[in-house]
Amino acid sequence: MDVLRQLQSFFWSKRILLFLSILCLALATALGLIYPNLLRVLIDDMITPRNFEGVPMLALTVLGVVILKSSLQFLHGFFGARLGNYLAYRLRNACYEKLQFLSFRYYDTAKTGDLMSRLTGDLEAIRNFIGFGFAQILNMVLMVLFGSIMMFSINWQLTLITMIFMPILVMVALKFETQIHPAFQEMRLAMSSLTTAVQENVTGVRTVKSFAREPHEVDKFSIRNERYKTNQIFASSLWAKFFPIMELLASMSVILLLVVGGRLVIQEELSLGELVAFFSLIWYIIGPMWNIGFHINNYTQSKASGERVLELLNQPIDVQDTEDSIVLAPEQVKGHVSFEHVTFAYGNKIAAVTDINLDAPPGTVIGFLGGTGSGKSTIIQLLMRAYNINSGSIKIDGMEIKDINIRSLRSQIAAVFQETFLFSSSIRNNISYGLKDVSMEEIIRASKLAKAHDFIMEMPLGYDTIVGERGMGLSGGQKQRIAIARALLKNPKILILDDATSAVDMETEHEIQSGFQEVMRGRTTFIIAHRISSLRHADEILVLNEGHVVQRGTHDELIRVPGQYQDVYHIQYADHIAREQQAPGKQVNS
Ligand SMILES: Nc1ncnc2c1ncn2[C@@H]1O[C@H](COP(=O)(O)OP(=O)(O)OP(=O)(O)O)[C@@H](O)[C@H]1O
């Protein structure tokens, strides 16, 4: 019920639909109770005394009741569907909005398939329950209540006798519930792991094929499919046992009614019409008991689904704006970045970066060099406030970034990553992503700077060419150049190039960088690169090892001192150095 209470806020403004739906169903049920009475009248007042006169009137009454009952049932469906759809619509929007604002930390462990199944299957289960299931459970209670009252009013002793088996029926249904609920939860988990397997396989199809891992992937899927199947079979076998037991218990009540009721009619303590009415009414009690399993199942499934959707909606967002966060005025931002004793660890692991200090006055270029996992990208993520730091401070123009409004902070930063994500849209839209009122001239200018214009013009529809999911159909270098154009168009105060030219050849890199010289002017730029050639013009280069800055200085300073930078330089410039050494008198330099 706690789940229901939490979901309430999503449909409460349309509660009138819920009330109308329940009311219509309750009225339809109440009308249904007229049938047994009409039967009793037909037998006792017309058939037994052989009085045919009232029969046409009785038939008309039945017709009227049928029409009214059908109309009420239609209205119940109509209002229920509107309510369910309204709720699902709001929940879908809320979930999607939440996904937009969840922190990077959440996405570090989130599984796409699992999220998809929450937004589809789970939402559907909630929609069904709030739209129909809930009203039907209430209706079930009303049926039992109305039915019992009528039966008691006819003959209370007979009612008590026929109800002897009802508590057992309820007990069986409740026991069933305690077993089926975990089974359904397990089934949902199994389904989301299946979806995840499919999604990952489709996304990573190139990797799978290049490693010829298809058989392994098939096995992995089979194991998950097996888990789903086992759960399905377990749940089905529970259902299979449940129905015959319920039927047996229900039949006991009918047999009792037959024996005791028949005797009462013979003893003239009960009229024939009343006995027939009783037979009809007993189903008002047995029916709900019979369906209690279905309703309980519906309820538990939706409850499990509700828990999963709410779990997403209640996820804490660890990187958030403070109440009085500072909104940067773009024209006043200078782009002075400083890190003071910054230490940060992902989760409970050891620190990814420790005691980082740097000062980047506006317009300077800072380079990062270091082995895999040395913490270069982490520093950049921290500057964008993807995560909150554990200690130290990061400032822009003297303001702590944790005090700056996140949107306005990120709007001053443009980043190009090693891996480029392109939306399935036109190249033009991909370049102008997130920007309003951008002219075609500006897009072309940025593309030319990023050395992307020529290959875009060679494509069938030029800038209107649609690139598929993750930019399929483009080479890695082409995707990177589009990403660079996108970053340049944003005209940021702070530019981040995280291995941004790794996928282009040396010549193109050189060309792009000469373009960068122009666009980097006046912007504080952070370059992560494995190639010394990308870093040599930086005002300061930080060499990282296991999250620590082990060397810092300009290119000219660093190549002179023994250390990691010099080692990398020697490897990358071996030919050049050899040539320099063959020409005596010349200094070994870049
Ligand atoms: N999202 C994450 N969750 C947990 N640990 C992470 C995450 N990202 C990076 N790490 C860890 O933090 C450390 C630094 O990683 P980082 O990505 O900053 O290195 P890097 O120098 O950029 O490496 P590369 O050159 O390979 O990109 C590594 O030990 C890495 O395993």
Segment 224-268, tens digit of pLDDT: 999 999 989 998 898 888 888 888 888 888 888 889 999 999 998
Task: Please give the number of the atom of ligand 1 that sits closest to the Cα of 104.
Answer: 1
Q: Evaluate: CB of 374 within 6 angstroms of ligand 1.
A: yes
pLDDT at 32: 87
**For the segment 298-355, what is each residue's pLDDT rounded down to a tens digit?**
888 888 889 999 999 999 888 888 888 888 887 888 889 999 999 999 876 788 999 9
If you take atom 19 of ligand 1, which residue's CA is the nearest one? 373
- Out of 22-36, 158-172, 302-316, 514-528, which region has the weakest mean confidence (pLDDT)? 514-528
Average pLDDT, the chain: 86
Instruction: Tell me what pLDDT residue 543 has.
Output: 93
The ligand 1 atom at the shortest distance from the C-alpha of residue 547 is: 14
Longest CA–CA span in the chain (Å) reads: 134
Residues 6+ apart with CB under 8 A from 103: 317, 318, 319, 386, 387
Distance CA 448, CA 316 (A): 42
Ligand 1 centroid from CA 558, angstroms: 24
d(CA 509, CA 366): 18
- How many A from CA of 355 to the centre of ligand 1? 16
Residue range 360-385: average pLDDT? 91
> Is the CB–ligand 1 distance for residue 159 below 6 Å?
no
Confidence of residue 458 (pLDDT cuts 50, 70, 90): confident
- The predicted pLDDT at position 73 comes to 92
Instruction: Specify the residue with its C-alpha closest to ligand 1, atom 6.
Output: 346
Q: Is the CB of 351 under 6 A from ligand 1?
A: no
Q: Supply φ then ψ for residue 340, to 5 degrees.
A: -125, 115
Locate 565 and state its tokens.
């930078």
Long-range contacts of 396-402 (CB under 8 A, 24+ apart): 396/328, 396/333, 396/335, 396/336, 396/337, 396/494, 397/333, 397/334, 397/335, 397/336, 398/336, 399/326, 402/322
Q: What is the predicted pLDDT for the residue at 514? A: 64
| pLDDT score recorded for residue 84 | 92
Q: What is the mean pLDDT of residues 54-61?
A: 88
Q: Which of 387, 406, 391 is nearest to 346 (CA)?
A: 387
Ordered by start, the domain boundaries in the chain are 2-313
pLDDT of residue 588: 43
Most informative mutation of 377, 381, 568 for ligand 1 (most atoms within 8 A of CB): 377
Q: Is 373 in the pocket of ligand 1 (CB under 6 A)?
A: yes
- List strands edge to edge, sheet with 337-344: 353-360, 337-344, 391-396, 399-400
515 lines ligand 1 (CB under 6 A): no
Residues 6+ apart with CB under 8 A from 35: 62, 65, 280
Q: CATH homologous superfamily for 2-313?
A: ABC transporter type 1, transmembrane domain (1.20.1560.10)
Pocket lining: 376 vs ligand 1, CB cutoff 6 Å: yes
Distance of CA 446 from the midpoint of ligand 1 (Å):
30
Do 121 and 75 form a contact (C-beta atoms < 8 A)? no
